[in-house]
A and B are shown apart, each in its own frame.
Chain A
Amino acid sequence: MDFITDTLAVFPSLIGAVPIVLQLAAGAMILALVLGLLVALARISQFKVLRAIAVFYVEVIRGTPLLVQLVYIFFVLPSIGIAIDPIPAGILGLGLNYAAYLSEVFRSAILSVESGQTEAALSLGYTPTKALWKVVIPQSFVVSLGPIGNYFIAMVKDTALTSVIAVTEILKTANILNSQTFQTTEIYTAAAILYLMLSLPLSRIVVLLERKARSRG
């Protein structure tokens, strides 16, 4: 019984980190969505150079650990004069990383929209660019909703990695508490439950969104 009450007692100290986690995840997700779409467009563009840059970006990001990328942004960039505060650095690192993965989601979604629809749009007088933005991309967003949602949940959990670059999110807060009280089991159990409390409702929302999108298509 002691364990449960002690664990519950930790929550108030951890809850304060939740807004930071949401700020990180929301900021990074917006960055990842915008950049991911741009990278996806570059990858299907007719310009070889753009395609090459996009492929290079995706390969470098996917080929290195997110933790290393975060450390690089926070500890290495200052040496060339780019010093970024912990939270913006976290948003940047998570955003750049997830952009690479989301670009693949967008790219396959764009390619999955029947080419016949593009032809129909062209025959109605859309320019290729307009057809892409008005006909193809809105549909690829619907197709991508599920994967985007799942990546968002993963990102919420990955915010824990920003603890190494001095962001006082949930894990970092837990570390600090632990060094003061040494209630290791209670503190990290509470932290784990807190992450669950964030990700479970999000999964539920993703499922509902997906179902809604599918019922229309």
Chain B
Amino acid sequence: MADNTIINVKDVHKTFVSEAKQSLWDRFRGKTHEVKRVEVLKGVNLEVAQSETVVILGSSGSGKSTLLRCINKLETIDAGRIYVHGHMIGYREQNGALVAERASVTAKKRTDVGMVFQHFNLFLNKTALGNVMAPLRDIKNLSAADARIKAVHHLEMVGLGDKLDNYPSKLSGGQKQRVAIARALAMEPAVMLFDEPTSALDPELVGEVLAVIKRIAQAGTTMVIVTHEMQFAREIATRIVVMDQGLIVEEGPPETIFTNPQHDKTRALLSRSQTSPQASES
């Protein structure tokens, strides 16, 4: 592991276990409890170095979101290790087994990882400024004045200097997502994770968000981005990672992936996007 490794995912396995809905009649007959298991990550390895922009591609259900959420310990894992900045997140090792660590310890480590969600997840009772200030006050313990200066700075950076006092209900989708980006970025995380940041947006609002993300990448922020925007992926990525059915099946620099894809799945993804109306536009 090189010194400048920010994220190190080693052989991570994740299975979702859900209890199938059982009718009263089934239970009455003493039918055994049905448990549904879906193995979503089947041994994923991924290293992300400082200043890299890694874009994860993959068809729906391939496990992209789950992988990002595991890096932030929003999901538990069954096996493997995830290190952020050299620290294992969510667990400690005891006799070679994973033991969940205290919530407050995980919380501290999470400040190293910023996350932007598909559905923005803004605090609805706070203005744009309030959203960005809240974690600076609550987690970083900045004074109101300092938090305000910092929050305003980051909101201006995403082009929302004139929307400070708007509540989320008075912002467009693109503006909401830019507030979410400012909120995460203001915490100065070591890495930013984006889970389909534009797929809940009207097409005409996608550009403004992508432009902001691009600007952050150019400033040297380490990022992992899940997206279906192929053109954007090609422009912004320093490395492309292709996932299929819970595994990374191909990775490499964007030029190689886009011009000379090796894996069938990658070819399928690329050809599908080339025939989609959005890609043919550009």
Residue ranges of A at the interface with B (Cβ–Cβ < 8 Å): 114, 116-117, 119-130, 134-135, 138-139, 142, 216-217
Question: Does residue B32 face the partner (Cβ distance < 8 Å to A)?
Answer: no
User: B74 touching A122 by the CB < 8 A rule?
Assistant: yes
User: B134 touching A127 by the CB < 8 A rule?
Assistant: no
Query: Which residues in A have their C-beta under 8 angstroms from that of B113?
Result: 123
B132-143 interface code vs A (CB 8 A; 1 in, 0 out): 001100110000
Question: Does residue B111 face the partner (Cβ distance < 8 Å to A)?
Answer: yes
Q: What are the 6 A-B residue pairs with the smallest beta carbon separation, nearest first?
A: A125-B111, A120-B121, A116-B121, A123-B115, A124-B135, A125-B139
Question: Does residue B123 face the partner (Cβ distance < 8 Å to A)?
Answer: yes
Query: Which residues in B have their C-beta under 8 angstroms from that of A120?
Result: 115, 117, 121-123, 180, 183
Query: Which residues in A have their C-beta under 8 angstroms from that of B104?
Result: 127
On whether A130 and B110 interact (CB within 8 A), knowing A124-B187, A217-B169, the answer reads no
Query: Which residues in A have their C-beta under 8 angstroms from that of B74?
Result: 119, 122-123
Distance A129 CA – B107 CA, assembled complex (angstroms): 11
Interface residues of B in 200-233 (CB under 8 A from A): none
User: B124 touching A139 by the CB < 8 A rule?
Assistant: yes
Distance A119 CA – B74 CA, assembled complex (angstroms): 7
Question: In whole Å, how far is B72's beta carbon from the nearest beta carbon of chain A?
Answer: 5
Query: Which residues in A have their C-beta under 8 angstroms from that of B125?
Result: 138-139, 142, 216-217
User: A126 touching B124 by the CB < 8 A rule?
Assistant: no
B54-84 interface code vs A (CB 8 A; 1 in, 0 out): 0000000000000000001010000000000
Distance A117 CA – B74 CA, assembled complex (angstroms): 13
Query: Which residues in B have their C-beta under 8 angstroms from that of A124?
Result: 110-111, 114, 135, 139, 183-184, 187
Candidates A119, A126, A128, A134; contact of B121 at CB < 8 Å: A119
Scoring A116, A120, A122 by chain B CB atoms within 10 A of each residue's CB, the highest score goes to: A120
**A-B contact list, 29 entries, CB within 8 Å:** A114-B121, A116-B117, A116-B120, A116-B121, A119-B74, A119-B117, A119-B121, A120-B115, A120-B117, A120-B121, A122-B107, A123-B114, A123-B115, A124-B111, A124-B114, A124-B139, A124-B183, A125-B108, A125-B135, A125-B139, A126-B139, A127-B103, A127-B107, A128-B103, A130-B138, A135-B134, A139-B125, A142-B125, A217-B125
User: A216 touching B123 by the CB < 8 A rule?
Assistant: no
Query: Which residues in B have their C-beta under 8 angstroms from that of A125?
Result: 107-108, 110-111, 135, 139, 187
Query: Which residues in A have their C-beta under 8 angstroms from that of B139?
Result: 124-126
Question: Does residue B119 face the partner (Cβ distance < 8 Å to A)?
Answer: yes
B77-107 interface code vs A (CB 8 A; 1 in, 0 out): 0000000000000000000000000011001
Query: Which residues in B have their C-beta under 8 angstroms from that of A142?
Result: 125
Query: Which residues in B have their C-beta under 8 angstroms from that of A114?
Result: 121, 124
Query: Which residues in A have their C-beta under 8 angstroms from that of B169?
Result: 217
Question: In whole Å, how far is B108's beta carbon from the nearest beta carbon of chain A?
Answer: 7
Question: In whole Å, how far is B280's beta carbon from the nearest beta carbon of chain A?
Answer: 33
Return the chain B residue nearest A124 by Cβ.
B135
Return the chain A residue nearest B102 by Cβ.
A127
Return the chain B residue nearest A143 by Cβ.
B125
